Amino acid sequence: MNLLIPPSRLDSGVTADTPRPSREEAEEAVRVLLRWAGEDPAREGLRDTPARVVRSYRELFAGYAIDPIALLERTFEETEGYDEIVLLRDIRLESYCEHHMVPIIGRAHVAYLPRSRVVGISKLARLVDAYAKRLQIQEKLTAQIANTIDQVLSPRGVAVVIEAAHQCMSTRGVHKPGALMVTSRMLGAFREDATTRRELLAMIGNRPGGLLES
């Protein structure tokens, strides 16, 4: 399956009018930032840093090259009528704040109520990565994951809960380490049925320390 994102689904901001810079241009941009910070890019310890940064960006922001919809398009219908909650919790999440380009580190809990199809659980984790490995705000990230599952699987309900620490708060600005931001997106039965929503939240929190255990 080709998971590279086609032009019709591109969400990277790179267009024909604003093409992707070359590797050389990207490395020069890193040198400029090093000089702006007060460093000398030519000194031994920093000589290869621009190339390392550019290589790391390909990994850190790999989500721009992945089609999230294609990740979920292979499903399974032999479920023996299973129609209860499917939950993958504690998915490690690493993203970058689009306002300050510093890390967002946390975990996502992804659930859905299947109507007739289920998807391999690894695909749910890959879906989280596909959106997390982009410049993000947590609210948008939460909605993107939930909306994609709802669009592709057409389940009876979708729920995404994300708990994350933002280094734009802990290492700069207000300097509040330990603060966690929690966002949720509930669709279908999880939004409309309070009993179903409570069952899900109990499943997420059923571990030592509860929902926000670090």
Residues with a known catalytic role: 97-100, 138, 166, 168
CA 12/CA 87 separation, integer angstroms: 29
β-bridge partners, 163: 107, 182
**Smallest Cα–Cα separation from 143: which of 166, 127, 156, 121?**
127
Q: Are the beta carbons of 71 and 129 closer than 8 angstroms? A: no
Q: Are the beta carbons of 106 and 180 closer than 8 angstroms? A: yes
CA 74/CA 59 separation, integer angstroms: 25
Which element (helix H / strand E) includes 72?
Answer: helix 68-72
